[in-house]
Amino acid sequence: MGEPAGIGGEITLKAWRRKKFGAPSFFVIDDCHRLEAIAQALALDVPIHKIETADEAVGVFAEALPVIDHPVAEIPRPGEPLPANAKSVLQSIKRAVELVRRGDASAVVTNPIHKLSLYDAGFDHPGHTEYLAVLSNSESTPVMMLACDQLKTVLVSIHVGLRQAIDSLTTEAIVKNGTIAAKALVRDFGIREPRLAVAGLNPHAGENGAMGSEEMKIITPAVAKLREVGIEATGPYSPDAMFSPRLRGAYDAAVCMYHDQALIPIKTLDFDGAVNVTLGLSLIRTSPDHGTAFDIAGSGQASEASLVAAIRLAAAMAKQRAAP
């Protein structure tokens, strides 16, 4: 579902129309009346078919968008989130996780949420990623990856301020996230011997301590520990060069020290097609790499490209996990 006042409903309807271009089949957990209202308002020819169980979706998808009806408290105006809907948003995520854990679906693909609305309603997790870890009984903190055809980046810190990201940086965190990333590259992406490039924190990767000591004290020891356990990790690399076309071919994923270091190159390379992937869970979860876009909600301008990419990647990861 995602945030009902955002673009989630619009891009979901548009994603179904991409079926003729080979988009994988999917079903939605959302308010049927809300989706019908959006389709009518935006003149989107997308029939809605209410289903009761997930296994009905395959027979329906070719002719209509299959929806497990999950009503919201109140259908909002585009761009104007209502705190009363927070409970429905969270329950839709929980319901999706339950379906995957039961084997009724292969993966969870989430639409963007509005964290402030959820916080106001008592939500005590930083975001989707941490909430999904609780719902799936994950034993460790999950790891965020951003992926597009040209690049995969893995984050050591996520939604914290830059000062906090720097202050909290540790060798152990880099090793943990790098290890989870390497395992996921094997399990979910079929890369038998993954190569990790570890980014520096400071300009020129610290210039041997002249521009910062974190590389020498924290990041280089992490690279050594990753190599000790058999992971092909190299670095730290200067962040201003490692994302260039010449260097990207030398690694399978870049381990980045903070949020924007990972997201800026991804969004520059493929703003519409980048996907948010949660690593380290027992289930597969992907999401579009953008927010609720309240400023264009209800206007018909929203692109479904990232959501379609998220659905495609989730299907490919599920196929990889199921492979003998």
pLDDT given for residue 164 in this prediction: 95
Q: Are residues 131 and 54 in the same domain?
A: yes
Are 197 and 236 in contact by the 8 Å Cβ rule? The answer is: no
Residues of the chain with pLDDT below 70 are none
Looking at the fold, whether 119 and 242 belong to one and the same domain comes out as no
Same domain? For 253 and 312 the reply is no
Same domain, 24 and 119: yes
Give the side-chain half-sphere CA count within 13 A for 118: 19
Q: Provide the pairing of β-strand 285-288 with 275-279.
A: antiparallel
**Do residue 263 and residue 319 come from a single domain?**
no
Residues with Cβ within 8 Å of residue 316, at least 6 apart in sequence: none
Structural domain tally of the chain? 2
**55 closest CA partner among 108, 16, 95, 99:** 99
Bridge partners (DSSP) listed for residue 234: 197
Q: Residue 120's pLDDT is what? A: 76
**319/136 Cα distance (integer angstroms):** 20
Considering the domain architecture, whether residues 173 and 269 belong to the same structural domain is answered as: yes
What are 253's strand-pairing partners? Answer: 196
Range of the structural domain that residue 51 is part of: 1-138+282-324
**pLDDT tens digit sequence for 184-204:** 999 999 999 999 999 999 999
pLDDT at 133: 80
Per-residue model confidence (pLDDT) at position 125: 75
Q: What is the CATH number of the domain that holds 52?
A: 3.40.718.10
Q: Give 311: exposed, middle or buried? Use CB within 10 Å, 0-12, 13-18, 19+.
A: buried
**What single string gives the DSSP state of each residue in 206-270?**
GTTTTT-SHIIIIIHHHHHHHHHTT-EEEEEEPTTTTTSHHHHTT-SEEEESSHHHHHHHHHHHH
For position 206, what pLDDT does the model report?
A: 82
Q: Are 3 and 125 found together in one domain?
A: yes
Cα of 73 vs its chain's centroid, Å: 26
The answer to whether residues 72 and 90 belong to one domain is: yes
Q: Are residues 294 and 216 in the same domain?
A: no
User: Does residue 294 contact residue 77 with C-beta atoms inside 8 Å?
Assistant: no
Question: What is the residue whose two structure tokens read 């939605």?
Answer: 28
pLDDT score of 307 = 96
Q: With 0.85 as the threshold, say if the pTM is over it.
A: yes
pLDDT digits (tens, 9 = 90+) for 28-38: 999 999 999 99
Q: Which residue has the tokens 């984050």?
A: 155
Compute the distance between CA of residue 14 and CA of residue 305 in angstroms, rounded to an integer: 9
